[in-house]
Amino acid sequence: MNDVAKHQSGRKIIKVALVGQPNVGKSALINSIGNARLKVGNFSGVTVKKEVVRFVRGDYEFKITDLPGSYSLTDYTIEERVTKKYLDEDEYDLILNVVDSTNIERNLYLTTELLALNKKIVIALNMTDEAVNEGVHINEQQLSKILGARCVKTSALKKTGIDELIDAIIETYNSKLPDLHLQFSEPFEEEIANIVDFLQAKKFQCKISLKALAIKLLREDRQAYQRFHEEPIWIELLPIINKAYQHLYLHYGTKDLEDIFNDEKNAVAKGAVAETVVFEKDNRLSLTDKIDALLMHQVVGLPIFLFMMWGLFQLTFDIGSIPMDWIDAFFVALIDGTKNFLGHTELASVIADGAIAGVGAVVLFLPNIIILFFGIALLETTGYMSRVAFLLDGFFHKFGLHGKSFIPLVTGFGCSVPAYMASRTLKNDRDRLLTLFIIGFMSCGARLPIYVLFVGAFFAEHHAGNILFLIYISGALLGILAAKILKMTVFKGKDEPFVMEMPKYRLPSFKLIWHTVSGQALMYLKKAGTFILMASVLVWFASNYPKQPELEQAYQIKIEQAADDAQAKALSNELALSKLENSYLGMIGHASEPFFAPLGYDWRMAVALETGLAAKEVVVATLGVLYGLGDDITEQHTGLIEKIRENISLPAGISFIVFVMIYLPCLAASMVFMREAGGWKYLGYLFIFTTVTAWLLSFAAFHITRMLV
């Protein structure tokens, strides 16, 4: 205990690397140990970048790094590279290897590789609850002995075994590194023993055990060889290793060392399972198989998926509109109330017409957002996600996309930022870039308010759900079409293999869904209360300044001389409108009007689209402020939907929807896109690509609708 890291408070810091195959419950386990809120989902590749969770237990402070799941320590995909790199290069005190008890043999394959690293290691046999139900009994004491590492049964779901796991980690941390227990097949062990004997005879000193070193040499580990090159004993060691290779080649009938080692790993896993696991009942048709027989059926599978999507959008409208009416009424009352209270002042206007109108326009759509995120959470947590990827792979493949792209694309319906991150699970850079470029076509949650607003304004209530469904589907289809075009022109190349695990179906716990959905809802509200609030006030200022005293005076005189009330009202409306048009925002809008005029937009819609580059929620906030201001102040306030209907024509509205569907995602998403794609130039391409597409299709939509109605 000489130089252990210590916290100021005198607590010892234990750095833990959390490693395991995908979807075994690593993140879920840390959530239950450390009260964290890491993202959990029932498919491979939920965690795509490392994340550190800290918590204190007694005298110890834990710093656990949640790593992306890896089937084995290879660099197949970016996220797996993250894990391998972390294990090779970072500092940590021990490895916590999480294992799915119900699929233990395959999981031990990775464990074998981890053991060969010869680091302190604790193994969590997770999903114990499921294992018990499925009749899988593991003798963890026996397994601990065989592997030479503490094994603890845990369940992240039922929160069992957590304290034991913590104790095991502390104990392992405080004890010294045990000898390598890994037992390979006899021929392999013989060669290892030869090398170890030689190194021992030479009194060779090494940080890891000699056996671990010998294994590295036999695996042709680059690092080990580089180190040895400078050692004098290299000359003598070389012939021994050479002979070992010859023996192994002969015995296994292949010269592929990786094949040989893979075989060994499998044999170790199989052996350990044979000695320590009892399978009580087996091979009965599980529930998952029964559900899959229907949901993955080659004929009805896809229609069922589409039907469920359609149902989700019906719900978004039908259920969502009930609280929406209340929220709308509330904000209208609040605006009127504020103005009555503060009187006809600048302050009243900035609060009511700026802040409240803008924020209210965004909060209005909270119910829709919640329903949408609920749907996505179900898709992510039940295990259906990978099934749909399977169902769509054939179709996707025709358009040059990889089946796995489905996961980032679906994530994109929630928010583009995690979607861009999720595309890291794609192995090939070309597939990944292609996916990155079309994620924007999947309308994110922040665009939903715009659709709901416009669809609500222009279509009958019983059609609204269908139209919404149509918008999302056509967005997705456009994206896939764009993929085809990009694949044929820019991202040419051969196809990558599609190999993907289908997890078993899991009934998500209420808590998990609640966590996911409430987290998203809170984030939406927080954004409304901060970013959107500021943007709304900014929009208000830009639309109220510069002041135009001459214009006001001129109108004031006209109004006083007006013949009757009606004329006076018309005049004051005219005044409000021309004040708006001569404001800063009006100037910006008019400047860009020529660009948008062919699409049927007035300058206010143009401005809304421009402010939408910051965040899509700002579009409705801007519309809320701009169309609110044109109103006569003494008149009873009407809802935002009404105002849209009064001020915008149907063709322009549809054209607007199309533009919103396609054009550049928000600032935050654009930044993440740039990082994931690897440079400014890609953001430039994306901007040009989306703007041109959006403009052309909106133009078409505007003129076609005008011809039809």
Partner 1 sequence: MTLDKLSKGESAIITAIHANRELKNRFNSFGLVKGARISVEERSLGKKTIRVRINKTRIALRSAEAEKIEVKA
Ligand X SMILES: Nc1nc2c(ncn2[C@@H]2O[C@H](COP(=O)(O)OP(=O)(O)OP(=O)(O)O)[C@@H](O)[C@H]2O)c(=O)[nH]1
Residues lying near ligand X in the complex (CB under 6 A) are found at 20, 22-28, 40-42, 44-47, 68-69, 126-127, 129-130, 155-157, 381, 506, 512
Alpha-carbon span 191 to 183, nearest angstrom = 12
70-109 residues near partner 1, rule: CB under 8 A = 71-72, 74, 76, 102-103, 105-106, 109
231 vs 202, 204, 226, 324, CA distance in Å? 12, 10, 10, 75
Residue 632: exposed, middle, or buried by beta-carbon count in 10 A (0-12, 13-18, 19+)? Answer: exposed
Judged by beta carbon distances under 5 to 8 A according to partner kind, the member of Mg ion, partner 1, ligand X, none in contact with residue 72 is partner 1
Judged by beta carbon distances under 5 to 8 A according to partner kind, the member of Mg ion, partner 1, ligand X, none in contact with residue 338 is none
End-to-end CA distance of the chain: 82
How many C-beta atoms surround the C-beta of residue 489 within 10 A? Answer: 8
Q: Does 259 bind partner 1 (CB under 8 A)?
A: yes
Judged by beta carbon distances under 5 to 8 A according to partner kind, the member of ligand X, Mg ion, partner 1, none in contact with residue 386 is partner 1
Residue 438 C-alpha from the chain's centroid: 15
Alpha-carbon span 69 to 45, nearest angstrom = 7
Q: Cβ closer to ligand X: 45 or 600? A: 45
Helix axes 603-611, 617-629, angle to 10 degrees: 150
Q: Does 403 bind partner 1 (CB under 8 A)?
A: yes
Q: Does 197 bind partner 1 (CB under 8 A)?
A: no
Provide the minimum distance between the beta carbon of 101 and ligand X in the complex, in angstroms, as a whole number: 9
**Looking at 285-293, 575-583, 633-641, 647-655, which segment touches partner 1 (CB under 8 A)?**
285-293
Alpha-carbon span 206 to 208, nearest angstrom = 6
From 477, 465, 698, 488, select the one nearest 596 (Cα to Cα): 698
Q: Cβ closer to partner 1: 299 or 563? A: 299
Among 225, 341, 498, 514, binds partner 1 (CB under 8 A): 498
Alpha-carbon span 474 to 309, nearest angstrom = 13
Binding residue count for partner 1, defined by CB under 8 A:
41
Alpha-carbon span 442 to 406, nearest angstrom = 11
Judged by beta carbon distances under 5 to 8 A according to partner kind, the member of Mg ion, ligand X, partner 1, none in contact with residue 42 is ligand X
560 vs 447, 556, 564, 567, CA distance in Å? 45, 6, 10, 10
Q: Cβ closer to partner 1: 139 or 428? A: 428
Q: Does 666 bind partner 1 (CB under 8 A)?
A: no
Alpha-carbon span 182 to 265, nearest angstrom = 10
Contact indicator for 449, 362 with CB cutoff of 8 Å:
yes
Q: Which amino acid is at 278?
A: V
Judged by beta carbon distances under 5 to 8 A according to partner kind, the member of Mg ion, ligand X, partner 1, none in contact with residue 157 is ligand X
Q: Which residues bind Mg ion (CB under 5 A)?
A: 26-27, 46-47
Contact indicator for 218, 257 with CB cutoff of 8 Å:
yes
Among 143, 146, 296, 621, binds partner 1 (CB under 8 A): 296
Q: Cβ closer to ligand X: 69 or 301? A: 69
Q: Does 390 bind partner 1 (CB under 8 A)?
A: yes
How does DSSP classify residue 404? G
Alpha-carbon span 661 to 597, nearest angstrom = 18
Judged by beta carbon distances under 5 to 8 A according to partner kind, the member of partner 1, Mg ion, ligand X, none in contact with residue 572 is none
- 187: tokens are 């021929």
Contact indicator for 120, 177 with CB cutoff of 8 Å:
yes
Alpha-carbon span 414 to 263, nearest angstrom = 42
From 2, 633, 689, select the one nearest 353 (Cα to Cα): 633
Judged by beta carbon distances under 5 to 8 A according to partner kind, the member of partner 1, Mg ion, ligand X, none in contact with residue 406 is none
Q: How many alpha carbons lie under 13 Å from residue 278 in its C-beta half-sphere?
A: 7
Q: Does 499 bind partner 1 (CB under 8 A)?
A: yes
Provide the minimum distance between the beta carbon of 27 and ligand X in the complex, in angstroms, as a whole number: 3
14-73 residues near partner 1, rule: CB under 8 A = 21, 71-72
Provide the minimum distance between the beta carbon of 513 and ligand X in the complex, in angstroms, as a whole number: 10
Any idea what the Cα angle at residue 557 is, between residues 553 and 563, rounded to 5°?
150
- Cis check: omega of the bond before 651, within 30 degrees of 0: no
Among 33, 361, 486, 500, binds partner 1 (CB under 8 A): 500
Q: Taking CB positions, which residue lies at the least distance from ligand X? A: 69
Judged by beta carbon distances under 5 to 8 A according to partner kind, the member of partner 1, ligand X, Mg ion, none in contact with residue 129 is ligand X
Q: Specify the residue for token string 């005189």.
A: 557
Provide the minimum distance between the beta carbon of 76 and partner 1 in the complex, in angstroms, as a whole number: 6
Provide the minimum distance between the beta carbon of 76 and ligand X in the complex, in angstroms, as a whole number: 14
Q: Cβ closer to Mg ion: 42 or 47? A: 47
Q: Cβ closer to partner 1: 243 or 255? A: 255
Q: Cβ closer to partner 1: 299 or 566? A: 299
Judged by beta carbon distances under 5 to 8 A according to partner kind, the member of partner 1, ligand X, Mg ion, none in contact with residue 236 is none
Beta-bridged to residue 13, according to DSSP, are 61
Q: Cβ closer to partner 1: 285 or 563? A: 285
- 319: tokens are 């259920």
From 671, 670, 676, select the one nearest 424 (Cα to Cα): 676
Q: Does 263 bind partner 1 (CB under 8 A)?
A: yes
Judged by beta carbon distances under 5 to 8 A according to partner kind, the member of Mg ion, partner 1, ligand X, none in contact with residue 156 is ligand X
Judged by beta carbon distances under 5 to 8 A according to partner kind, the member of Mg ion, ligand X, partner 1, none in contact with residue 500 is partner 1
Chain residues that interact with partner 1, rule: CB under 8 A: 21, 71-72, 74, 76, 102-103, 105-106, 109-110, 258-259, 262-263, 265-266, 288-289, 292, 296-299, 386, 389-391, 393-394, 397, 403, 495, 497-504
